[in-house]
């Protein structure tokens, strides 16, 4: 019996897509420079049982399975491989429970981040992780890639909000791991192992997520600096003095200009670095005043605290537009995701500027500065082979620099196809061997998202 017929035995007709024109549109996530194959079929299950049927079928027939959420990922982790089953979880999008006493939500993987965020807001609760794609990306994808966002400097990453998971294993068995309690240490932390595993260990079909009380509306300050180094000095001072900003973002001159060019936001075109700091504390104006003084001491030429929520929103909107704006600079971009200790952030930014010079390229940098997490974005002409080669080389040079500074090749975007070779470099042979050993325990046949991570 062939694959499609076998799938039909446990899935309704509308959950199986075989038209190549349609299935082809599921081949990629949003990463550049990542190979993608042609799927044999796309399945869109609505129940756990249907997912189990897909995995049992895949195991019997030894067919690779590529799990997908909203395909907003930036590392190719959701890219199809030739002949694979694309297992899209977007139809499993129910919010099963929101519990204000236990401060948890129980959700299916296809729930969109923003939908969940708004739903919990109505209960006075807050789900912090906020990747740039939060209006599109799914919770399952966030878990698979261990997404971050702007809020991480105060509230941490997706991993810190995943308490328990139901996972369909490679052979179709259902595993429940973790908990719905505030604490729990019963055995090895399998839940955490699945977070960031890019679908290579199992298919998440349900998640218990931790929530927080909704904080007060944040207020944002913008500070202009004559150099990225001065802005980084301010970042270090802010964090060393014990401040707890809800956001601490840096845009370099290239980013600021790109945003102005696209959206005429009136950002200061002549500044070398724009720092945005926000506080959602009981008295944000007082915190902004203190942080503004630190910025001035570090050399800021202008410090402008927003006085209203509307002004704050405008500044955040400018920040959130950066990647889209940088995409307009040239025909293509490659966005990097190197995270260094924040004490090394200035060196990371100076080094990135030197790399841009060396390779004669435009590289705009936006950074979650409070986390030391930079997104150098290489802008290039994809039709120019030499510029494309230089783009790829500069991208690698940026990762090498991050590792030299004690950092990691990926703060929040993951490895996927894009950074496989670099993962091996970062982990070293011993770490890589153990990671492969874990993969073999969960997926002995190697059918779960093969060719990703390792």
Q: Which is nearer to a copy of itself, 350 or 426 (CB)?
A: 426
Distance separating the N- and C-terminal Cα atoms of the chain: 32
Count of C-beta atoms within a 10 Å radius of residue 450? 17
* 52 lines the binding site for a copy of itself (CB under 8 A): no
Stretch that binds a copy of itself, among 16-24, 30-38, 276-284, 298-306 (CB under 8 A): 276-284
* Positions 282 through 311 that interact with a copy of itself (CB under 8 A): 282-283
Q: Which is nearer to a copy of itself, 114 or 193 (CB)?
A: 193
Query: Considering only residues 5, 9, 310, 430, which one is a binding residue for a copy of itself as defined by CB under 8 A?
Result: 430
Q: Position of tokens 């910025």?
A: 295
Query: Considering only residues 244, 265, 304, 382, which one is a binding residue for a copy of itself as defined by CB under 8 A?
Result: 244
Query: Considering only residues 99, 260, 296, 331, which one is a binding residue for a copy of itself as defined by CB under 8 A?
Result: 99
In whole angstroms, the minimum distance from the beta carbon of 8 to a copy of itself comes to: 27
* 152 lines the binding site for a copy of itself (CB under 8 A): yes
* Positions 1 through 40 that interact with a copy of itself (CB under 8 A): none
Q: Which is nearer to a copy of itself, 5 or 185 (CB)?
A: 185
Query: Considering only residues 103, 253, 319, 390, which one is a binding residue for a copy of itself as defined by CB under 8 A?
Result: 103
Stretch that binds a copy of itself, among 85-93, 140-148, 311-319, 350-358 (CB under 8 A): 140-148
* Positions 163 through 182 that interact with a copy of itself (CB under 8 A): 169, 173-177, 179-182
Cβ neighbors of 384 (< 8 A, separation 6 or more) are: none
Q: Position of tokens 């799914």?
A: 138
* Positions 378 through 417 that interact with a copy of itself (CB under 8 A): 406-415
Q: Which is nearer to a copy of itself, 179 or 320 (CB)?
A: 179
Q: Which is nearer to a copy of itself, 83 or 341 (CB)?
A: 341
Q: Which is nearer to a copy of itself, 147 or 254 (CB)?
A: 147
* Positions 323 through 342 that interact with a copy of itself (CB under 8 A): 339-342
For a copy of itself, how many residues bind (rule: CB under 8 A)? 87
In whole angstroms, the minimum distance from the beta carbon of 79 to a copy of itself comes to: 18
Q: Which is nearer to a copy of itself, 39 or 196 (CB)?
A: 196
- Which three-class secondary structure string do you get for 84-152? CEEEECCCCCCEEEEECCCCEEEECCCCEHHHHHHHHHCCCEECCCCCCCCCCCEHHHHHHHCCCCCCH
Do the beta carbons of residue 31 and residue 76 sit within 8 Å?
Answer: yes
Stretch that binds a copy of itself, among 22-30, 35-43, 58-66, 367-375 (CB under 8 A): 367-375
Q: Which is nearer to a copy of itself, 66 or 340 (CB)?
A: 340
* 189 lines the binding site for a copy of itself (CB under 8 A): yes
Q: Which is nearer to a copy of itself, 6 or 419 (CB)?
A: 419
- Which three-class secondary structure string do you get for the chain? CCHHHHHHCCCCHHHEECCHHHHHHHCCCCCCCCCCCCCCEEECCCCHHHHHHHHHHHHHHCCCEEEECCCCCCCCCCCCCCCCEEEECCCCCCEEEEECCCCEEEECCCCEHHHHHHHHHCCCEECCCCCCCCCCCEHHHHHHHCCCCCCHHHHCCHHHHEEEEEEECCCCCEEEEECCCCCCCCCCCHHHHHCCCCCCCCEEEEEEEECEECCCCCEEEEEEECCHHHHHHHHHHHHHCCCCCCEEEEEEHHHHHHHHHHHCCCCCCCCCEEEEEEECCCCHHHHHHHHHHHHHHCCCCEEEECCCHHHHHHHHHHHHCHHHHHHCCCCEEEECCEECCHHHHHHHHHHHHHHHHHHCCEEEEEEEHHHCEEEEEEEECCCCHHHHHHHHHHHHHHHHHHHHCCCECCCCCCCCCCCHHHHHHHHHHHHHHHHHHHHHHHCCCCCECCCCCC
Query: Considering only residues 380, 442, 443, 451, which one is a binding residue for a copy of itself as defined by CB under 8 A?
Result: 442
Q: Which is nearer to a copy of itself, 5 or 430 (CB)?
A: 430
Q: Which is nearer to a copy of itself, 91 or 180 (CB)?
A: 180
Query: Considering only residues 17, 36, 153, 278, which one is a binding residue for a copy of itself as defined by CB under 8 A?
Result: 153
Stretch that binds a copy of itself, among 20-28, 146-154, 218-226, 253-261 (CB under 8 A): 146-154
In whole angstroms, the minimum distance from the beta carbon of 351 to a copy of itself comes to: 16
* 197 lines the binding site for a copy of itself (CB under 8 A): yes
Stretch that binds a copy of itself, among 57-65, 142-150, 260-268, 386-394 (CB under 8 A): 142-150
């Amino acid at each position: 019996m062939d694959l499609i017929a076998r799938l039909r035995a446990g899935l309704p007709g509308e959950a199986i897509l075989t038209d190549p024109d349609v299935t082809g549109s599921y081949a990629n996530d949003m990463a550049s420079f990542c190979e993608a194959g042609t799927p044999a079929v796309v399945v869109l299950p609505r129940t756990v049982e249907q997912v189990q049927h897909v995995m049992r079928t895949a195991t019997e027939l030894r067919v690779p399975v590529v799990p997908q959420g909203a395909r907003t990922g930036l590392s190719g982790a959701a890219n199809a491989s030739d002949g694979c089953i694309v297992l899209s979880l977007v139809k499993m999008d129910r919010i099963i429970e929101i519990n204000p006493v236990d401060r948890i939500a129980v959700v299916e993987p296809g729930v969109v981040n923003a939908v969940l965020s708004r739903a919990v807001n109505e209960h006075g609760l807050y789900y912090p992780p906020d990747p740039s794609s939060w209006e599109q990306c799914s919770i399952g994808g966030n878990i698979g890639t261990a997404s971050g966002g702007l809020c991480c400097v105060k509230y941490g990453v997706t991993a810190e909000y995943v308490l328990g998971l139901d996972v369909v294993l490679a052979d179709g068995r259902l595993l429940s791991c973790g908990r719905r309690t505030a604490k729990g240490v019963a055995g090895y932390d399998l839940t955490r192992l699945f977070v960031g595993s890019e679908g290579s260990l199992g298919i998440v079909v349900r998640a218990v997520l931790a929530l927080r009380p909704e904080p007060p509306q944040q207020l944002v300050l913008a500070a202009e600096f004559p150099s990225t180094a001065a802005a980084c000095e301010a970042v270090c001072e802010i964090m060393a003095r014990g401040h707890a900003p809800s956001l601490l973002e840096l845009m370099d001159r290239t980013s600021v200009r790109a945003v102005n060019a696209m959206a005429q936001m009136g950002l200061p075109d002549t500044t070398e670095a724009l720092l945005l700091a926000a506080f959602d504390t009981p008295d944000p104006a007082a915190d902004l005043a203190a942080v503004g003084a630190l910025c001035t001491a570090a050399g800021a030429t202008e410090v402008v605290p927003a006085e209203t929520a509307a002004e704050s929103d405008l500044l955040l909107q400018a920040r959130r537009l950066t990647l889209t704006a940088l995409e307009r600079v040239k025909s293509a971009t490659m966005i990097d995701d190197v995270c260094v200790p924040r004490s090394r952030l200035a060196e990371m930014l100076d080094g990135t500027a030197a790399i841009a010079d060396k390779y004669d390229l435009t590289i705009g940098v936006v950074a979650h500065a409070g986390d030391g997490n930079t997104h150098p974005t290489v802008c290039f002409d994809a039709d120019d082979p030499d510029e494309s080669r230089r783009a790829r080389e500069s991208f690698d040079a940026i990762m090498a620099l991050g590792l030299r500074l004690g950092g990691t090749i990926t703060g929040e975007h993951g490895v996927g196809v894009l950074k496989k070779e670099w993962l091996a470099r970062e982990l070293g042979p011993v770490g890589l061997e153990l990671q492969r050993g874990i993969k073999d325990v969960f997926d002995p046949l190697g059918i779960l998202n093969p060719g990703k991570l390792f």
